[in-house]
Structure 1
Amino acid sequence: MAVTAGISAARSPLPRTGAPALDALLHRESPSMTHTIRGDIGVTLTRAQGCTVWDEEGRAYLDLTSGSGVLPLGHGHPAVLKAMQDQLAAFAHGGWQYGCPARADLAERLAALLPWDDPVLLWCTTGSEAVEAALKVARAATGRRQVLGFLGGYHGKTAGALTVTGNAGFRADVTEIPVAGLSLPYPTAAGHVAPGAALATGHDFGRAILEHPDFGADAVAGLIVETVQGAGGMQAAAPGLLSELREFTTRRGMLLILDEIFTGFGRTGAMFGYQHEGVVPDLVVLGKALGGGLPVSLVAGPRELLNAVPPLRQTSTFSANPVACAAGAVVVDTLLNERLPERTAALGDVLVRRVAEVDVPGVRLEAIGRGLMTGVRITAAPRGDRGGFTRAVVRRMRELGVLALRGGADGAVIKWTPPLTISEAELAHSVSVLAAALATETDAVRSSR
């Protein structure tokens, strides 16, 4: 009876928005996806260029999301589009069994960037798939079974990736691991991490638990960690944490796995997040920005580790798609030639200064993160529900022509992950809109009392 009632409720008509495509997808698609579209976003996009997107009614917005960090060069970058078009005209897909020049070219570009003398790549399609591939490599290379993640960590929503994703909400009712029992404390930075931040030591990442003889650390194949937790609220790792993890995992025969799916390719102010501490991990997981808008991902590491995975243990139909690889080569070249990681580090500092200038009575803000993977956390609001207030602010920003996402455990963090090509003027405008949205929502709260 309860199931029937649930189905009936799901089929009940939804209020119309007046935007045909938006109405259609809200009616037809799963609530798993439409929840955020309805609650926070409220627009469907029809075209995009640079840092600007347009909805189906023709209204323009400044895009602070870059497709969840997928578009480091912005929308419609001409060189990326040309590479896609040229490869599409040659052939769009052959399958992982067939190599192609675009795939070989991208592999060599990546090998030149990676920290090992003779790196090997294992191609995948999505970030979650690449995380699962990394878990396979770690288990095959060490002969151990368990890989540990960190509280607040996010590594994907497929069954295997969820075993190392710290957020219990993502696992509820859909996986056999209901609690974060195998997640470690994640020491976080105080505020936004500036370039060249001094390293500290003695971080509590659960060392005492792992070292305890009853824990069974000898069964742990590795630790997987993000240098900035995107889904966890744009919180950067405390300076020095990666160095400590490197020492600890080496001493205990574990692998250090860096999930750079979001942080990779310039997002934090370095080509890869681990470079901020000069740490050489055992495995790196890459994706998102690499394909310039098309899905491509991989796990990379030294030959002796990647060769531990037997033939045919990790393949998928769309791995290393030729069109995505052609785009990826342009993305890598442009990031290097235009020194976009260095520019990103400087723009991150500009953003922090702008946020510090926002002055709305009754509201306190804190900038967190690193580079242009920055969160603006609302630490005090005119009402107790900071998450609800933040949602209202994000909606108001949308009405004022700026699209942003929010996150954090309490939903009180507004995310800045724009294209790395965003101008200082656009960045300043986004903060001005934030200030206006905060002021408007604060006035609305006070007038309702």
Structure 2
Amino acid sequence: MLNADLQQRKDAATPRGVGVMCQFYAERALNSELWDVEGRRYIDFAAGIAVLNTGHRHPKIVAAIESQLGKFTHTCYQVVPYASYIELAERINAITPGSHAKKTAFFSSGAEAVENAVKIARAATGRGAVVAFSGAFHGRTMMGMALTGKVVPYKVGFGPFPGEIYHVPFPVELHGVSSADSLAALQTLFKADVDPQRVAAIILEPVQGEGGFYAAPPEFMRALRALCDEHGILLIADEIQTGFARTGKLFAMEHYDVLPDLMTIAKSLAGGMPLSAVCGRAEVMDAPAPGGLGGTYAGNPLAIAAAHAVLDIIAEEKLVERANVLGQRLKERLSGLRRAVPQIAEVRGLGAMVAVEFCRPGTHEPDAAFTKQVQTRALQKGLLLLTCGVYGNVVRFLFPLTIGDALMDEALAILEAALRDSAASATTI
């Protein structure tokens, strides 16, 4: 089987709207490596878009799924419940930030978790409006797209979107937007567009994912919490990409000294199995009436089994600590290249949620073409990278936290070569 043949069949059988980055096809994978159908190996720094913090096919996850497979694969939890769902909810309630009483409901995808967080917030407050931020990504459903603060490619041609959704700028110092600017925009929103007494929730990613790996400043998070408390608004932390040790804490909100009312989690929760959740204050979570939450596949027993294994692996292999070590190595390597690669405008990140942003040398003008060139050269050398950012000028790093030191060294050497080659090419044009 050849990649070119599969590419031709893909183009004939599947719609162009399902955008596919690579033109090779996976045959097998293990931990941080992936092999295509022609036998070529790649080092995976994408991890299924932050889904594989515990790597491809971790033996403990495989064993957990196999064990559950021998019992039952589906009952629909809302028809015939099972203990593993309850046990996982108890574990999530215990490990998420805050010692207050919490409850957790499981779903199938990150977008589904966001949709249900909004439903819960509206049921709990009796209000309709929701505030989100520019650069945010909250999913591809109609509500998810409405909340998302990036038009291309997520929102083009799909409107109109649900009403009572408002956006304000996210604080990004590199691009001249301070915390004070964002907070002022919120106050203007409340004066000009929506009464804060009509706002059910403010939703944000503690570290924006698709938006460019920008972390919310601590003073901004504190101000948001105070604003929410003042007006009876719920604060929703979207931890879908930031969760499960990626930022050097189990959850990104642990970097802050305030607590959210609701959290959405997914991606690395189940090590590649489709599972998401909303965890929040018990009294808020209980607002919807019985039957108001759920889904046919929500909390699938195979995915629940995988999630239990993921939590065990994170603790046993000390992946929180590992994220900080690996992230620091990457940031030091990238920072050391700033002289040789003048397009590097900023190296940033919490733990292993690291990004490098490229701008035209001497400016803050985003350089998407250079970013794409780095990604392409790295892929040619066998390193899989993802880009992000509203302007497409950021490379984000999402390697499995289980990656070995030798493979990490190999990947960083490829990355450096791709950066140097791209910089050299840019100076000769």
With structure 1 as the length reference, what TM-score do the two structures score? 0.87
Aligned residue in 1 for 2:182: 204
The Cα shift of 1:444 comes to 4.0
1:105 aligns with 87
Deviates more, 1:115-124 or 1:437-446: 437-446
The one-letter amino acid of 2:83's match is P
**Aligned residue identity for 1:227:** P
CA, structure 1 residues 302+180, in 2 after alignment: closer, same or farther (shift >3 Å)? closer
Secondary structure of the residue aligned to 1:285 is strand
Larger displacement relative to structure 2 (372-381 or 250-259): 372-381
2:137 is the counterpart of 1:154 = yes
Tell me: CA distance 1:360–1:80, structure 2 relative to 1, closer, same or farther (3 Å): same
Partner of 1:4: none
User: 8 Å contact 1:242–1:274 — kept in the other structure?
Assistant: no
Partner of 2:420: 439
- Of 381, 385, 388, the match for 1:400: 381
Q: Against the structure 1 CA distance between its residues 261 and 189, is the aligned structure 2 distance closer, same or farther, given a 3 Å change threshold? A: farther
Q: How far 1:387 moved relative to its partner?
A: 1.2
Q: Deviations over 1:199-247 (max 9, x none)?
A: x975633342145376411110110000111110122112322222111
Two-structure CA RMSD over aligned residues (Å): 2.6
Q: Measured at CA, do residues 21 and 245 of structure 1 come closer, stay the same or move farther in structure 2, by a change above 3 Å?
A: same
Structure 1 counterpart of 2:15: 30
Match of 2:56 among 55, 75, 94: 75
Match of 1:426 in 2: 407
1:20 aligns with 2:5: yes
Counterparts of 1:128 and 1:47 in 2: how far apart (Å)? 27
Equivalent positions of 1:23-422 (< 5 A) are 23-34=8-19, 36-37=20-21, 41-97=22-78, 98-114=80-96, 115-169=98-152, 170-177=154-161, 182-188=166-172, 202=180, 204-205=182-183, 206-212=185-191, 215-358=194-337, 359-360=339-340, 362-380=342-360, 386-422=367-403
TM-score normalised by length of structure 2 = 0.91
Q: Deviations over 1:234-293 (max 9, x none)?
A: 221123222221111011100000000111111111111111113211001111111111
Please say if residues 51 and 268 of structure 2, whose CA atoms lie closer than 8 Å, have aligned partners that are also in contact.
yes
Change over 3 Å in CA distance of 1:94–1:180 after alignment to 2: closer
Number of matched pairs: 421
Amino acid of the structure 2 residue aligned with 1:183: H
Q: Could you tell which deviates more after superposition, 352-361 or 252-261? A: 352-361
Letter in 1 for 2:225: R
Equivalent residue, structure 2, for 1:11: none
Q: Is the 8 A contact 2:360 2:366 kept in 1?
A: no
- How far apart are residue 443 of structure 1 and its match? 4.1
Letter in 2 for 1:413: V
| Residue 165 of structure 1: how far off its partner (Å) | 1.1
Distance of aligned partners of 1:413 and 1:162 in 2 relative to their CA distance in 1, 3 Å threshold: same
CA distance in 1, matches of 2:269, 2:173: 27
Opposite residue 124 of structure 2, the aligned amino acid is A
Equivalent-residue separation in structure 2 for 1:428 and 1:248 (angstroms): 45
CA positional deviation for 1:446: 5.0
* Paired residues of 1:74 and 1:421 also in contact (CA < 8 A): yes
What one-letter code is carried by the residue in structure 2 that aligns with 1:88?
Answer: L
CA distance 1:180–1:382, shift in 2 (3 Å)? farther
Q: Structure 1: any 5+ residue segments left out of the alignment?
A: 1-16, 192-199
Whole-angstrom CA distance in 2 between matches of 1:240 and 1:229: 16
